[in-house]
Structure 1
Amino acid sequence: MEHLEIHSEYQALLEASGLAAFDALFAAGERHRIDGHLRRSASRLELRGPGGEAAVIFLKRQWGGAARPAMKDLLDLRLPMLPAKREWLNAARLRQAGIAVAAPVAWGYSRSSAGPRALIAFREVAGPSLASWLRQAAAAPESVSPALRRAVAEALGLAIRRLHDAGISFPDLYAKHVYLEGLEAGWPRVVLIDAARLRRLTVRRRWEDLAALHATTAVPGVRPADRLRVFRAYFGDTWRQAMRRIEQLAARMRGRGQDPRLKAARQAARTEGDRIISLDGGRLLVSEAFCPALEAAGLATFDAVMNLAGGKPYRRAPGRSTVRVELPDPRGGACALYVKRYTRPVREPFWRRLLCMHGPHSAADRELRNIYRVIDAGVPTLRWAALGEERPGGGAAQKSFLITEEVAGAVQADVYAEAAFGHDRSAAAARRRLVRAVARLARRFHQAGLAHRDFYLCHFLVRPQERADPALHLIDLARVTHHRGGVPRRLIIKDLGALLFSARPSPATHIRSAAFTLADAVRFARAYFQSPRLGPPEKRLIRRAAARAGRIARHEERRRRRGEAAR
């Protein structure tokens, strides 16, 4: 059973391109994907009409996973509906209210033994997104006149006011979902996209919409005055009283409007050609840069990677293992990769995420999402090569893997510290540079709302540099958690306590001698808090982190004794 509804203005365009049937349009999206996902994708199609006129449409495809949106609709006391159909109806609702939205072209669905599929297509907006325009304006301020800045801010504020006056809330009011037409003429017109989640406006939702826009326009180089003009146009004379609440809500929305897995890939796709490719029936996602090497090594299928017998064992634990492999690159040279395989699902996170309506993501998928969260926070980490998942019956992934590239010339921080500082007290300058670099990375990581939960020195990779701060990479991100309202104090204490424990001599680490001193701990605290003098709150936090390090040391000692007794 299939259905395809086409807007009358675009019937001739799709017929001329041979895309007037659901299967044809759905298959065309596979050939022109601009990003990849396990259950959805976006494609950009360049079409020709019957008269030869060019037209560009964006196609969003969805397959499988219909239970979650249906359950969310029921919890919201709404009739369950396919997301594609809801977005189609929402676009018509916005246009009827006089609000500009990307022109809908077609929507459809298919139900078969292979599972449900759905699609929706929109005409490309003739202008950049607000997010990209802000980045361009920040990079080249002289290219944007003050008059155009004011016009954009006022048009944006008035468009949001018109949206809210119609009683509509737009929960995804992020800068990437707002497009600008008519910039060349100096009369910008605001056009919205991605209207799948419209809601009835309430007082709380009004503030959340405004805070979402405010949070996602906080781009380096954007003038605060330009952002304030948006709310002056929206509120009129009462804008000053509203700004405090908007800024408080926006502070809790770090990371909103950014897909943790695909944001960086989309930004890099046009410049580096590093797109995401789907292989093996969607069970394998591969970064385009590594596709030739994996295909040449016969690792282009899920089963081939899971059954890989070679490689140097790196780490093994119940339910997971990591091996290092070197693959020849058909373009010349070789690449070293780490293959982390999970052979059973982690039940507790699975049930917790399912109850929270977040979906049963596999362990490998969670780590990949965390890689992109860490990249977006400005913290260097590993570069991923491939992700694989197997979901029997569409449920929790029983097996999964993640392949990452080795950081060339880097060693674990505890190994480096023991070799460089353990028996050489003259390397004080290099030791101080390492301490300051780790403190700055930890501060940036926590300020981004991220907690590592395994924040040991062995999870820092160090690439020493002559007379300069060492280059650091943070790894092992499987247990990273994201907190939009800021990292809880207990998790900061947990991370800093783990870091302090791993810097001490211990059988559980590679440090056997006093590589770091008490002065280094004070130096770390000053760099972490960015203060030459620590106040009472900072001292209390450091004392609690030291107590946490002591508890970890006692726990490791008990484990070591139990292991010796068992032998």
Structure 2
Amino acid sequence: MNFYLHDRLKKYFPVPGAEFDQIMTLAGERFRHQEGRLTQRIMLGGKSYFIKQHRGVGWKEIVKNLLQLRLPVLSAKNEWASLNRLQALGIAVPPVVAFGKRGLNPARLKSFILMEELAPVVSLETLCKNWRSVPPPFAFKRMLVEEVARIARILHQNGINHRDFYICHFLLDTYHGLVDLTAKKLKLYLIDLHRAQMRRSIPERWVIKDLAGLYFSSKDCGLTQRDLYRFMRVYQDRPLREIIQSEKTFWQKVKKRGEQLYRDHTG
């Protein structure tokens, strides 16, 4: 069994050796329940946390994923490892205060990951939904585009692809408000890493999938061609002229995949 519990939470689970079972029975406000995974908001000592409890996906789900050439998510261990890796790379993620995994049968693994709730925050999906009719200040939009591009570059340069790389999974820290936000105060959290993959280098198709997800999910935000060029320049950390000359085919693939995702989503 793998188990970690932050010292400050140990007082809430005082029975030695039974902490795993106690945490697996925690219940609160339900947010998502699918594929053997339940996500809830709970309270401990007046503080709010999110917990993801995995109770086994079953062999049927595993076989279905493998036949679709997809790696099934069997436990919370993948998210635990991904969050630790991103934190080491300097990317803001939800602080993990507990993690556990028990069992050998891959179809019946029991696991959990407990994270502090991020607040106050707003998702980029919510923040940007009215930008087409009410454009934000230029400097603010530029900072956000460049920061998302920087995070994407760090992920991909270090062999990590998110697999659900949409703007709803970027949360902007609003502690300092939005009116006088500067680059020094800008803090974007990346969440929902349970399907992330880590390897020495990422096959191009997975890089394209991640970037296409960003393109698709930001398509209704009123971004201009200049905004897209700015993203490309920061993401590849090269002059735009060089990118257009040498990477044109790559970015055409990203756009084509993103447009298809948008058509599939909007019907």
TM-score bracket, normalised by the shorter chain, equals 0.7 to 0.9
Report the CA distance between 1:303 and its aligned residue. 3.0
**Counterpart Cα distance in 2 of 1:518 and 1:315:** 36
Q: Which amino acid aligns with 2:22?
A: A
**Counterpart Cα distance in 2 of 1:503 and 1:369:** 28
1:490 aligned residue = 205
Which residue, 129, 145, 169 being the options, matches 1:459?
A: 169
Q: Residue 35 of structure 2 contacts residue 57 of structure 2 at CA under 8 Å; is this kept in 1? A: no
| Alignment pair present for 1:480 and 2:196 | yes
| Alignment pair present for 1:375 and 2:91 | no
Q: Residue 26 of structure 2 contacts residue 42 of structure 2 at CA under 8 Å; is this kept in 1? A: no
Which residue, 154, 157, 162 being the options, matches 1:447?
A: 157
Report the CA distance between 1:413 and its aligned residue. 1.5
Q: Which amino acid aligns with 2:79?
A: E
Report the CA distance between 1:532 and its aligned residue. 3.1
Report the CA distance between 1:337 and its aligned residue. 0.5
**1:319 and 1:426, CA in 2 relative to 1: closer, same or farther beyond 3 A?**
closer
**1:487 and 1:346, CA in 2 relative to 1: closer, same or farther beyond 3 A?**
farther
Which residue, 410, 415, 418 being the options, matches 2:121?
A: 410
Q: Aligned pair count? A: 247
**Counterpart Cα distance in 2 of 1:482 and 1:461:** 22
Which residue, 275, 287, 290 being the options, matches 2:9?
A: 290
**1:379 and 1:426, CA in 2 relative to 1: closer, same or farther beyond 3 A?**
closer
| Alignment pair present for 1:427 and 2:134 | no
**Counterpart Cα distance in 2 of 1:291 and 1:422:** 48
2:109 aligned residue = 398
Q: Which amino acid aligns with 1:367?
A: E
Report the CA distance between 1:322 and its aligned residue. 0.8
Report the CA distance between 1:536 and its aligned residue. 2.8
Q: Which amino acid aligns with 1:291?
A: K
2:255 aligned residue = 546
Q: Which amino acid aligns with 2:153?
A: R
Select the structure with the greater relative contact order (CA < 8 A; seq sep ≥ 6): 2
**1:467 and 1:307, CA in 2 relative to 1: closer, same or farther beyond 3 A?**
closer
Report the CA distance between 1:426 and its aligned residue. 4.8
| Alignment pair present for 1:305 and 2:23 | yes
**Counterpart Cα distance in 1 of 2:36 and 2:44:** 25
Q: Residue 498 of structure 1 contacts residue 549 of structure 1 at CA under 8 Å; is this kept in 2? A: yes
1:527 aligned residue = 234
Q: Residue 362 of structure 1 contacts residue 389 of structure 1 at CA under 8 Å; is this kept in 2? A: no
Q: Which amino acid aligns with 2:226?
A: A
1:231 aligned residue = none
Greater Cα radius of gyration, structure 1 or 2: 1
Q: CA RMSD in A?
A: 2.6
Report the CA distance between 1:472 and its aligned residue. 0.9
1:24-62 Cα deviation digits (max 9, x unpaired): xxxxxxxxxxxxx73xxxxxxxxxxxxxxxxxxxxxxxx
Q: Residue 345 of structure 1 contacts residue 399 of structure 1 at CA under 8 Å; is this kept in 2? A: no
Report the CA distance between 1:479 and its aligned residue. 1.3
**Counterpart Cα distance in 2 of 1:458 and 1:546:** 19
Gaps of 5+ in 1: 1-36, 39-283, 329-333, 352-359, 506-513, 559-567
| Alignment pair present for 1:318 and 2:31 | no
Q: Residue 97 of structure 2 contacts residue 114 of structure 2 at CA under 8 Å; is this kept in 1? A: yes
Which residue, 502, 511, 521 being the options, matches 2:217?
A: 502
Report the CA distance between 1:316 and its aligned residue. 2.6
**1:483 and 1:555, CA in 2 relative to 1: closer, same or farther beyond 3 A?**
same
Report the CA distance between 1:458 and its aligned residue. 1.0
Normalising by structure 2, we get a TM-score of 0.82
Q: Report matched runs for 1:2-41 at 5 Å.
A: 38=2
Report sequence identity in percent: 31
2:187 aligned residue = 471
**Counterpart Cα distance in 1 of 2:76 and 2:58:** 11
**Counterpart Cα distance in 2 of 1:361 and 1:548:** 24
Report the CA distance between 1:457 and its aligned residue. 0.6
**1:335 and 1:380, CA in 2 relative to 1: closer, same or farther beyond 3 A?**
same
**Counterpart Cα distance in 1 of 2:136 and 2:171:** 23
1:209-230 Cα deviation digits (max 9, x unpaired): xxxxxxxxxxxxxxxxxxxxxx
Normalising by structure 1, we get a TM-score of 0.40
Say which SS state the counterpart of residue 468 (structure 1) adopts. Answer: coil
**Counterpart Cα distance in 1 of 2:223 and 2:181:** 19
Q: Which amino acid aligns with 2:213?
A: A
**Counterpart Cα distance in 2 of 1:377 and 1:350:** 31
Q: Residue 56 of structure 2 contacts residue 75 of structure 2 at CA under 8 Å; is this kept in 1? A: no
Q: Which amino acid aligns with 1:319?
A: G
Report the CA distance between 1:468 and its aligned residue. 1.2
**1:426 and 1:412, CA in 2 relative to 1: closer, same or farther beyond 3 A?**
closer
Report the CA distance between 1:388 and its aligned residue. 2.7
**1:422 and 1:347, CA in 2 relative to 1: closer, same or farther beyond 3 A?**
farther
**1:517 and 1:326, CA in 2 relative to 1: closer, same or farther beyond 3 A?**
farther
Say which SS state the counterpart of residue 458 (structure 1) adopts. Answer: helix
Q: Which amino acid aligns with 1:304?
A: Q
Q: Residue 75 of structure 2 contacts residue 109 of structure 2 at CA under 8 Å; is this kept in 1? A: no
